[in-house]
Amino acid sequence: MSARDQAVERLDRLVSIETPTGDAAGLAEAQRLVCSWLDPVIGEPGIIETVDGVDHLRWSGGDAPSVLLLGHLDTVFPTGTIRERPFRVDGDTATGPGVFDMKAGIVIMAAALARAADPGGVAVLLSSDEEVGSLTSRALIEREAARAGTVLVLEPSLDGALKIARRGGSIYRVELTGRAAHAGLEPWKGRSALTELAHHVLALPELADPDAGTTVSPTVASAGTVTNVIPEHAEVRIDVRAWTLGELERIDAEMQGLTAHTEGVAVEVIGGINRPPMEASSSAELLDCARRVAARLGHPEVEAVSAGGASDGNFTAAVGARTLDGLGPRGAGAHADHEWVSVDSMMERIELLAGMLDELALG
């Protein structure tokens, strides 16, 4: 089987195993599949680490690994999506749920390790909850990143460009509690959590600073039970992104200080800063390495970009590990029905990653 055929066959098998965050059975099946690829190459069995009931998969890379390869197995697509959008390849384009974010990156990782001179000296961590903020895997990611000191993240590229900086992010849930009352008989006795919700949904985006690249976005909201009852409970979830820790801290102070606009309604803010920003300084040396390897291979010049979204690379950079992100393939449509990857770019990335692993192993 050619290297390209193997990559496509592996991608088909991995995409066809549905792994929405929280689906323990699907994630376990995907972990077994990846272990069948990596165990013989690395020379040791993968280790399952369970944190708060969630299983994450890793290989140690020995006592002093030269690099940590980082990725995640979970996707945003619910079980059953594969029946609606099965894996397909049309020429250079592969499609299917999770193909871009980030199952192709895991296939690239496995193939590159098989080409590396010392795969046993490479640590690998594949988490299971990245898509919901890495709440159980964060400490594990930070520990392994600090141990290796160098991290290559197999998240997808941005139109082929490596990601040298990322915005940080915060996640909040604002819970509002008022008083229920009959909407027809005595609505004045109620205290509407929904009315209070409306105030916050309109006011919170005003905290953003477009010039600084800071966004504050209400994304999910709920309120009420039935039509003829003044809503006693409501909640809204808020997504915050910023290029600097100072901006995240500014928004956090505003969020923690929220007060009610409606008399008799209580406001509770849950959450905080989730991922600190990944600054370009953490990627500089690794970007130089990628460019040297690409030139040696005869690849096009490696481009670099700053990305608005966050990843687990934000955590690794924050603990002081050199971090380069976006080593996955070219494609588009993360979290969308039109998600796709270029198979040609997967093959190019396999060569690039293998070359980087060899160079980094030499110190």
> Domain map of the chain by residue range?
3-167+277-361, 169-275
- Selection from 256, 249, 296 nearest residue 277 by Cα: 249
Beta-carbon neighbour count of residue 226 at 10 Å? 7
Mind listing the pLDDT tens digit of every residue in the chain (363 residues)?
899 999 999 999 999 999 999 999 999 999 999 999 999 999 999 999 999 999 999 999 999 999 999 999 999 999 999 999 999 999 999 999 999 999 999 999 999 999 999 999 999 999 999 999 899 999 999 999 999 999 999 999 999 999 999 999 999 999 999 999 999 999 999 999 999 999 999 999 999 999 999 999 999 999 999 999 999 999 999 999 999 999 999 999 999 999 999 999 999 999 999 999 998 999 999 999 999 999 999 999 999 999 888 899 999 999 999 999 999 999 999 999 999 999 999 999 999 999 999 999 987
Residue 363: what pLDDT? 75
Beta-carbon neighbour count of residue 52 at 10 Å? 8
Residue 310: what pLDDT? 85
Residue 308: what pLDDT? 84
DSSP annotation string for 169-185: EEEEEEEEE-B--BTTT
Beta-carbon neighbour count of residue 318 at 10 Å? 19
Q: How far is the C-alpha of 23 from the C-alpha of 128, rounded, in Å?
A: 9
Residue 196: what pLDDT? 97
Please name the residue ranges forming H helices in 154-240: 193-203
Residue 204: what pLDDT? 98
The verdict on domain 169-275 having CATH code 3.30.70.360 is yes
* 237-251 per-residue burial string, b: 16 or more CB within 10 A, e: under 16: bbebbbbbeebbebb
Q: How far is the C-alpha of 241 from the C-alpha of 170, rounded, in Å?
A: 7
3-class DSSP state for residue 284? helix
Q: In CATH terms, are 3-167+277-361 and 169-275 the same topology? A: no
Hey, what CATH topology would domain 3-167+277-361 get?
A: Aminopeptidase (3.40.630)
Residue 1: what pLDDT? 85
Residue 345: what pLDDT? 98
